[in-house]
Amino acid sequence: MHALAKGRVAGIAAGDAAGATIVPRGAGTGLSGGTIACADAIVVATTRLRSIVSIDRAARVAVVEPGVTNLAVSVAAREHGLFFAPDPASQKISTIGGNAGTNAGGPHALRYGSMVNHVLGIELVLPSGEIARFGGAVADLAGYDCVPLIVGSEGTLGIITKLWLRLLPLPEDVRTFVAIFADIDSGARAASAIIATGVVPAAMEMLDKVTIGALNAAFDVHLPADAGSLLLVEVEGLSEEVDDWATSILRVLKQNGATDVRTAATQAERELLWKARKLGYAALARIKPNNYLHDAVVPRTKVPAVLREVNAIAERYGYIIANMFHIGDGNLHPVLLFDARIQPVDRVMEASAEILKVALNAGGALTGEHGVGLEKNHFMFWVFGPEDLDAQRRARDAFDPDGTMNPGKIFPGGDACADIPTERTKRALAEGMWV
């Protein structure tokens, strides 16, 4: 980071802004409200800190500033025969600092894990203005490892100003399959059956009929219009093992009711399939002007039953619902489609709370990669008891005893963002539906 910019960030954190609270912000692509400024907080944007400081091919480490986009890191790493594994759908515009703040994942998190598995070190401006470094290019350091605590902390501990990222060698071989099923249940069973064979794909994604139709209408991607669901499976590694995995996957897909299975014959075909997956969210905008995108996680074997309940909730409230999700690790992204001009937002929030409750009742988690932010803070006590939340608050207080950083996020019960109408609605729903 330029010394002047780093000094300015440190100065703001140290109190140049007359004691105001601070919200770190990257590209603003987050989906949990984590970068909304509450209670007159000052927004510190890091998008102009976009240098790739270095890439060490031998050590497989990149040092980058927080405003670098995810895709820019991937492109730069490829020139060295390496790649950066986390690949959220927003990778063209989301920044590495924001990815770290929310512990972003993406389709390839199934095999490689999310951001926490790929951040080796962090330079952080603390609320006091002190510039601290945690971790670094060495994978294993003595003492407490604070890096996993900072990754996923959503700007509540400080402002990230530099990151050391783990890079991986490009795989020797990649195979991408697309399988068509009559319905979601059949595709979900096939996904579980693949992993039951011992094969863990690099990625395994599913699209439902609504999403397929939206993609065909918006981008002319020529997906089968009569498909009840589409399963995208990708494996990568040494050529010999990929050959074996491909044989197993093809067999399992056919045994579990795939009506059609195709393999991407070229890199261009593979990229087209992934383009279709990552443009799914944008395509849905043609159906309704507003949407609510979820991020719950459930055990993979529970996916069919949970989706049946989720779809029933949407039908009961009168909303169109689309499902496109990381089925390999059970990270669901149901999208409620509605028109806010004629459908009250409070009703959408109520349906959304019911969806979260279904996921948790199935043994799931509140979030897989979008973070808690402002969206799910009041639902945290559905998962954590008072002692658990107190322990988390004390960890935050070790970095930020005065509550300077990103107030009103992650933890339930705070009033910093109480003037936001949806915040009051969510709080009432969380308390009213608690069991």
The per-residue pLDDT for range 50-95, each reduced to its tens digit, is 999 999 999 999 999 999 999 999 999 999 999 999 999 999 999 9
Q: What is the pLDDT of residue 432?
A: 86
**Same structural domain for residues 38 and 154?**
yes
**Same structural domain for residues 34 and 142?**
yes
**Same structural domain for residues 27 and 142?**
yes
**Domain with 72 in it: what CATH number?**
3.30.465.10
Q: What is the pLDDT of residue 434?
A: 64
pLDDT at 14 over 70: no
**Same structural domain for residues 352 and 412?**
yes
The per-residue pLDDT for range 148-184, each reduced to its tens digit, is 999 999 999 999 999 999 999 999 999 999 999 999 9
Average predicted confidence (pLDDT) for the chain: 93
CA dist 181 → 92, 176, 231, 265 (Å):
30, 17, 8, 21
CA dist 375 → 75, 219, 307, 424 (Å):
32, 30, 21, 11
pLDDT at 11 over 90: no
Encoded amino acid at 21, one letter = T
**Same structural domain for residues 277 and 318?**
no
Q: Please give the residue range of the domain that contains residue 319.
A: 285-432
Q: pTM of this prediction?
A: 0.93
Mean pLDDT of the region 202-209 = 96
**Same structural domain for residues 266 and 358?**
no
Which of 137, 169, 201 is the last residue in one of the domains? Answer: 169
Provide the pLDDT confidence category of residue 143 given band limits of 50, 70 and 90.
Answer: confident
CA quadruple 349, 354, 359, 365: dihedral, nearest 10: 50
Encoded amino acid at 401, one letter = P
Q: What is the pLDDT of residue 397?
A: 97
The per-residue pLDDT for range 217-249, each reduced to its tens digit, is 999 888 898 999 999 999 999 999 999 999 999
The per-residue pLDDT for range 302-337, each reduced to its tens digit, is 999 999 999 999 999 999 999 999 999 999 999 999
**Domain with 345 in it: what CATH number?**
3.30.70.2740
User: String of b and e for 264-277 (b: at least 16 CB within 10 Å)?
Assistant: beeeeebeebbebb
The per-residue pLDDT for range 337-396, each reduced to its tens digit, is 999 999 999 999 999 999 999 999 999 999 999 999 999 999 999 999 999 999 999 999
**Same structural domain for residues 289 and 210?**
no
Q: What is the pLDDT of residue 422?
A: 87
Q: What is the pLDDT of residue 1?
A: 46
**Same structural domain for residues 358 and 292?**
yes
If 0-12 CB within 10 Å is exposed, 13-18 middle and 19+ buried, where does residue 136 land? middle
Which of 121, 150, 169 is the last residue in one of the domains? Answer: 169
Dist CA 245 CA 250 (whole Å): 9
Dist CA 104 CA 119 (whole Å): 11
Sequence-distant (≥ 6) Cβ neighbours of residue 115 within 8 angstroms: 86, 99, 100, 102, 103, 104, 105, 151, 152
Which of 146, 169, 192 is the last residue in one of the domains? Answer: 169
**Same structural domain for residues 208 and 87?**
no
The per-residue pLDDT for range 106-123, each reduced to its tens digit, is 999 999 999 999 999 999
